[in-house]
Structure 1
Amino acid sequence: MEQLRIGVIFWFLSLSVIGQTTYLINDFSDVYKGKLIIDQGYEEEVFKKGTVIILEKLSEKEVVAISSEELTFSLNEEGEVETGVVSLPYGEQSIIISEDVNFDGVKDIVVMDGQYSCYHGPSYQVYLHREGQLIHSPSFTRLAQEYCGMFQTNNETKTIETMTKSGCCWHQFSQFEVVNNVPVPIEVVEEEYQYLYHITRTKTWRGGRAIEKTERRMNKEGVAIEVLMSFRLFKNQKKVLLFASEGRLNYVLLKSEGELVEFSFPADNLIDAGRFTIDASKSKLIFKNKEAIYEIYEKRKQDKVMAVGIYVYVNGKKYHLSGDLSTLQGAMQGVSSEKLVNVDG
């Protein structure tokens, strides 16, 4: 009897008509039902050629029809097409999703149209349920096309979240609010790894005005560095760090708390041509950029370091940044003893 029951279910749900396989989908909405038609020869393919149709349950009126070369879907144990599955950002995402995307209390309909989102991921057409009918939304559809798969809704904050990426080293996370049935960005966060540094760029909108902020941190994952000398400045406890990586010397000034980079030389990438000069006494390390000349010094008496710090020359003026000797680790001799391709002297 159990085998007979399953056979009857499959007979209703999977009908062969003129070489096509048709699935009836009834469980995603009280108002609408669906029909999935797979072209002959694509039944066993991962990406299936076919058509998704949305109909009104009462009138049987066809309200949406989307044909695609690349549809994907899963069947449950009863042989029914699974709907409403949204595992973000890279997990399984259903061919039909019924969800209130504009937070008006009424569920809308989202229909897969292929694999056009990032990295050949699933993409969707979005239809808002307004005034008793489905109305296509170009603005919501863009969120389901230009990012990675279907977007995520947060009913508590009434916001929408998207993610996209490029390779291993660049990710973007965006948050939107809905204004007059249109998603409007309120925050975009970009995270980028540039070998030595992890860079976070944040853009937020407050009162119609965009505020941008950039933060850099040391990239400690998978990057080998050798700290040659470090100390903190007396006045503000910012940390001066000289380190070698891939045969190059780097200078970093870290903010007093955490690992936020306030200034670095050379710039963010490994191939930057910034050079250092160490004097004959091996007690001064000099570098310059467009804004200033920097001189890191170390004063010694016999073999003992008596003082450390930095002189900064800007527009003919000299500024002294005294170092806290009690925080000194390493020495200038460590810099001079290394064979570093961007150090002269």
Structure 2
Amino acid sequence: MTRIAFILIFLLSKSAFCQTTFVVDNFSKDYLGKLYIADTTEVFSKGWVAVFDKKTKKQLIKISSDELTFTLHKGKVLANVKEMPYGEQSSILYKDFNFDGIKDFAIMDGQNSCYHGPSFQIYLATNNGFEQNPEFTELAQDYCGMFDIDYKTKTIRPMTKSGCCWHQYSNYKVKNNSPYPIKIVEEGLSPTGITWDMEEQNLIKGKMVISKYQIFEVEENKDKILLSFGFENKKKMHVCKTESILYYAFTDANDRIELLYNDTFKYSNGENTLSFTNHNTEYIIYEDKIIAKTPNNKYELKAVSNTKFGTLTKLKNLKIENVIN
């Protein structure tokens, strides 16, 4: 055998080995799927996904793609695997997407969702077979992978994000085979680095009503908190810092910020208190309470003892731009 002939045989055998058609037969007594991968040695490969009627052998759906992927489970490719939001997602999902009690198909068509994630074409079951639905397909293209489904509330929940610090979470209902939003929440880390800017849209009387607010998440800011405690009404107070700026955040029971202050503070070494003036109100922060003084009144807010975290004494050894000792 010549060297050229050997190379040709090797290349042909390698090509035959890399091209594989997997039978997907774990999801229905009526249908089976096939997944063709042109090169199984690649993470993403050209190929196609098809669905067949088991009795008639008729091909019902077929989608070709330049970027298909697969995962083997004991040598088999399975349908209906969906690990949100970045885990494995099967090339065939056979579930009820429009809540009519009949299962539909989501067929992978590539990696067109966020961060080069899997995207799908949605085919709804009808009296005339399965028909591609553009509205459902849009939800399976423009977000992060395949959307989540809550069958108890009959709600579809897609999500998307950009980088570490912007996320969008949506709730959709379905009417006449068309999904429509009832709630959209966007969150983005504010320039301070300690609060999240929130925009919430809720469907009220047929219109999406927008509300904006900020929240303070304790767990994310624990390494920045100098002192924090809560009150009987479930509201909370936090004194925290970035590298060089001190912040005071007063939040409601849902962590929504009612007052955020980062102008000039005064720290008393002798009394171990922190004070500042906002508009016509002076706030004096102790280790276990806040005293607020207006021109006409004085208010004292006592902390619930088991909610306290940290201490103001750290301020004795810190150099912070907006704190006067």
Structure ranking higher in strand proportion: 1
Q: What 5-or-longer segments of structure 1 have no aligned partner?
A: 1-15, 267-274, 299-306, 312-317
Name the SS of the counterpart of 2:86 in structure 1: coil
The letter of the residue matching 1:49 is: K
- Partners of 1:295 and 1:169 in 2: how far apart? 34
Alpha-carbon spacing, 1:129–1:209, altered in 2? closer, same or farther (3 Å): same
- Partners of 1:225 and 1:183 in 2: how far apart? 43
The letter of the residue matching 2:292 is: G
Match of 1:72 among 66, 69, 74: 69
**Residue 216 of structure 1 contacts residue 262 of structure 1 at CA under 8 Å; is this kept in 2?**
no
RMSD of the TM alignment (CA)? 4.1
Deviation of residue 276 (structure 1)? 1.7
Matched, 1:172 2:155: no
Matched, 1:51 2:40: no
Q: Deviations along 1:37-67, whole A, 9 cap, x unmatched?
A: 222xx12212121122334445544443322
Matched, 1:158 2:154: yes
Match of 1:276 among 251, 264, 267: 264
The letter of the residue matching 1:342 is: N
- The aligned residue for residue 264 of structure 1 is 260
Q: Deviations along 1:55-107, whole A, 9 cap, x unmatched?
A: 44455444433221211123343x44311212222222111111111111221
- Partners of 1:85 and 1:332 in 2: how far apart? 51
Deviation of residue 321 (structure 1)? 5.0
**Residue 202 of structure 2 contacts residue 209 of structure 2 at CA under 8 Å; is this kept in 1?**
yes
- The aligned residue for residue 5 of structure 1 is none
Deviation of residue 237 (structure 1)? 9.3
The letter of the residue matching 1:94 is: S
The letter of the residue matching 1:183 is: P
**Residue 18 of structure 2 contacts residue 41 of structure 2 at CA under 8 Å; is this kept in 1?**
no
Alpha-carbon spacing, 1:117–1:237, altered in 2? closer, same or farther (3 Å): closer
Name the SS of the counterpart of 1:142 in structure 2: helix
- Partners of 1:21 and 1:50 in 2: how far apart? 9
- Partners of 1:123 and 1:325 in 2: how far apart? 53
TM-score (norm 1): 0.69
- Partners of 1:43 and 1:230 in 2: how far apart? 57
Name the SS of the counterpart of 2:137 in structure 1: helix
Deviation of residue 141 (structure 1)? 0.8
**Residue 231 of structure 1 contacts residue 323 of structure 1 at CA under 8 Å; is this kept in 2?**
no
Name the SS of the counterpart of 1:223 in structure 2: helix
- Partners of 1:81 and 1:35 in 2: how far apart? 9
- Counting only pairs closer than 5 Å after superposition, residues 315-330 of structure 1 correspond to structure 2 as 320-324=297-301
- Partners of 2:133 and 2:301 in 1: how far apart? 61
Q: What 5-or-longer segments of structure 2 have no aligned partner?
A: 1-14
Alpha-carbon spacing, 1:237–1:104, altered in 2? closer, same or farther (3 Å): closer
- The aligned residue for residue 340 of structure 1 is 320
Q: How many aligned positions are there?
A: 298
Alpha-carbon spacing, 1:278–1:88, altered in 2? closer, same or farther (3 Å): closer
- Counting only pairs closer than 5 Å after superposition, residues 165-204 of structure 1 correspond to structure 2 as 165-194=161-190, 195-198=193-196, 200-204=198-202
Alpha-carbon spacing, 1:244–1:215, altered in 2? closer, same or farther (3 Å): closer
- Partners of 1:52 and 1:287 in 2: how far apart? 66
**Residue 226 of structure 1 contacts residue 244 of structure 1 at CA under 8 Å; is this kept in 2?**
yes
- The aligned residue for residue 6 of structure 1 is none
Alpha-carbon spacing, 1:103–1:279, altered in 2? closer, same or farther (3 Å): closer
- The aligned residue for residue 11 of structure 2 is none
TM-score (norm 2): 0.73
Q: Deviations along 1:227-250, whole A, 9 cap, x unmatched?
A: 3x98989xx896665554422222
The letter of the residue matching 1:225 is: I
- Partners of 1:325 and 1:51 in 2: how far apart? 66
**Residue 23 of structure 1 contacts residue 80 of structure 1 at CA under 8 Å; is this kept in 2?**
yes
Structure ranking higher in helix proportion: 2
- Partners of 2:312 and 2:57 in 1: how far apart? 82
- Partners of 1:32 and 1:232 in 2: how far apart? 59
Deviation of residue 322 (structure 1)? 2.7
Deviation of residue 335 (structure 1)? 7.0
- Counting only pairs closer than 5 Å after superposition, residues 206-221 of structure 1 correspond to structure 2 as 206-213=204-211, 214-221=213-220
Deviation of residue 147 (structure 1)? 1.5
- The aligned residue for residue 119 of structure 2 is 123
Larger radius of gyration: 1
- Partners of 1:207 and 1:246 in 2: how far apart? 46
Deviation of residue 326 (structure 1)? 8.8
Alpha-carbon spacing, 1:336–1:145, altered in 2? closer, same or farther (3 Å): same
